[in-house]
A and B are shown apart, each in its own frame.
Chain A
Amino acid sequence: MVNERNIYKPIMASLTDVIDESPLIKTFVLVPEKGFSFKTGQFIELSVDGIGEAPFTPSSSPLITEKLEVTVMKTGYVTECMHKLKPGVLMGIRGPFGRGYPIENFYGKEVLILGGGCGLAPIRSLLYALESVTDKLEKVILCYGSKTPSDCIYKPLFARLNKIEKFETYRTVDKFEEGWNESIGVVTSLLNKIKMNIEKSVAVVCGPPIMMKFGTIRLLEMGYQEDQIYLSMEKNMSCGLGKCGHCMMGEFFVCKDGPVFTYSELKDTPDIWK
């Protein structure tokens, strides 16, 4: 059947709540006009009326279709406008787009997740998805790094996950602040604390490009194979449809072929960390 949908037209969603996560990061709770489902790791284009549109991977559970949470760091013009929004306004959503995490490939394995900064947003959605299939997984270890303790987002998440059997979490910060009693150092330093059965494991990396680069290098040193490492790439995904060309990375359209790739798919593509 011919698909008659206008691919450029967003559906409407009411902004029902705005949660402060850190000085620069807020989570927007949206109720779409109709049920909205996505696979964890897929992204949406979220628009502020008349201002602009930007790509975000939802941070909420893919099992919930009536509500959607999107965690946004204030980085540019559109996100700055988003941060000024108050509950009650309408926002536009297009998507979901792209290829998410292939959760089925994680079954029977240990899952190591390396997150940095706002990269924890897609990871939170992944964690919700993994939580729903805990019986099919060996264990899930989350290593998360942020600049300072104040920049650390989803604070209640860690305490909750640590109570779940098979889940372990570790946090580190680059810069100490009073009251912090966890690790200090870059996120890869947390990898010295954990023990994985690497042969029966997959690793997921999501964060700023520099962290993704060094995270991947460290995982390879630990013995992870290139196809065991899943990267969530971030480029200028403008249309989400594999058409506008802005997110082209080598022969891939990140918006359509990704944003989740294995390192083996990308290793020969130049400038992937830029």
Chain B
Amino acid sequence: MQYKSIKKEEWDNALEKLLLSYAIFASIPNDSGQDYEELRPVDISKIIYNKPKPATSLKSFFLPVKENVTSEKAVKERILIGIPNCDIEGLSIIDEIYLDKDFPDINYRERRENTILISTDCIGIQEHCHCLTYDIKPFATSTADLALISLNGTMIIRIITGKGEGFVSTVFPAAMPLKDEEILSAVEKEHHATETLLSSANKGLPDYKKTGILVSGASTDLWKRHSARCVSCGACTTICPTCTCFLLIDKPGFEKVKQMDACQYPGFERVAGGEDGLFVLQNRFRNRYMCKYVWKPGKFKSTACTGCGRCIEACIGKINKNEIFMELAK
């Protein structure tokens, strides 16, 4: 994969100019850590690179919480900066669902096409990060257009797609391919160090496939016990980079509003006659795990849980899915 490098100062200046023609969103610090915000010139120097992770996932840029899907809207060209690979990988499965050959969603496609995805390699981990357990690296090598590593005043750019290459050639025409072995091996060293941290923090946590087997075989008692603290608030699905279920609401004029929904809400599966396979709390609770680790793997190539750990952080009942899996793996 090709790398180019530029001075950090040069990168920041370019962003300031790009703000005139693009809507730019980047991960910047806030009271609770960091999150994606619309970039203002004053925030350029605050952009967080290489540190996991924005509080919310990437999906809302492509799947708004609520939108009228019968009216097509032009989307301004956008640049998203500072995306960790767990979010990039989350987008892979959303692409499979929303850009499938039979029924592509034209609003989603327009947003995807009009967005330049600039990922950032994770250097270091957060408490609940466990991407590597599910075979997802803490740095992007696909789906994103570019990936950034900020090292000693230099921005190292990994070029992933043709779109990314076009962007770099246009914005930084003088940037030459990076051949300096010392810098490249420093990048590799950072990758390795982060992977080591991930492995040691998640020792004993079953991998994606094994989790599927354990979840399928889990007893009713286990689901009952762990769901006792679930209040069906849907925070886990809302914050998840891969949960994309929705509801279609009819409006006068045969218009339809698509609103994000969640299998954790009562009534999700209810049919007109009143039958509801997920009426019982523990069944809804189990459904989310079955969906992510058993059913979706049978249907899609991409992973349905990217190990970002946000569902653990968001749960007001302090339910930690990894503790459940560790218990199952015992």
B268 contacts A246, CB within 8 Å? Answer: yes
- A242 partner residues in chain B, CB cutoff 8 A: 97, 100, 102-103
A79 to chain B, nearest CB (A): 6
Could you tell me which residues of chain A, from 1 to 51, have a CB within 8 Å of some CB in chain B? 2-10, 12, 47-51
Could you tell me which residues of chain B, from 296 to 313, have a CB within 8 Å of some CB in chain A? 296, 298-299
- B299 partner residues in chain A, CB cutoff 8 A: 251
- B70 partner residues in chain A, CB cutoff 8 A: 6, 8-9
Cβ 8 A contact of B245, one of A5, A10, A76, A246: A246
Residues of B in contact, count (CB < 8 Å): 40
B72 contacts A235, CB within 8 Å? Answer: no
CA of A271 to CA of B64 in the docked complex: distance in angstroms?
Answer: 32
Residues of A in contact, count (CB < 8 Å): 42
Could you tell me which residues of chain A, from 41 to 71, have a CB within 8 Å of some CB in chain B? 47-54
B237 to chain A, nearest CB (A): 10
Cβ 8 A contact of B248, one of A8, A76, A79, A234: A8
* Chain B, Cβ-Cβ closest to A239: B248
Known: A8-B258, A242-B97, A242-B100. A50 touches B246 (CB 8 A): no
Known: A52-B250, A244-B245, A244-B248. A7 touches B272 (CB 8 A): no
* Chain A, Cβ-Cβ closest to B279: A274
* Chain A, Cβ-Cβ closest to B273: A75
Known: A242-B103, A243-B105, A243-B244. A51 touches B275 (CB 8 A): no
Secondary structure type dominating chain B contacts: loop
CA of A235 to CA of B273 in the docked complex: distance in angstroms?
Answer: 11
- A7 partner residues in chain B, CB cutoff 8 A: 103-106
B220 to chain A, nearest CB (A): 12
Mark interface residues in A245-264 (1 if CB within 8 Å of B CB, else 0). 11010110000100000000
B277 contacts A274, CB within 8 Å? Answer: yes
* Chain B, Cβ-Cβ closest to A8: B69
Mark interface residues in B226-263 (1 if CB within 8 Å of A CB, else 0). 00000000000000000011111011111010100101
CA of A10 to CA of B255 in the docked complex: distance in angstroms?
Answer: 9
CA of A77 to CA of B273 in the docked complex: distance in angstroms?
Answer: 10
Known: A50-B251, A78-B272, A245-B246. 10 other contacts (CB 8 A): A3-B104, A6-B69, A49-B253, A49-B254, A50-B253, A76-B271, A243-B244, A245-B263, A251-B295, A271-B277
Residues of A within 8 A of B (CB): 2-10, 12, 47-54, 75-79, 92, 209, 234-236, 238-239, 241-246, 248, 250-251, 256, 271, 274
10 A-B residue pairs with CB within 8 Å: A7-B103, A8-B258, A9-B256, A49-B252, A75-B272, A76-B274, A78-B272, A241-B102, A243-B244, A244-B246
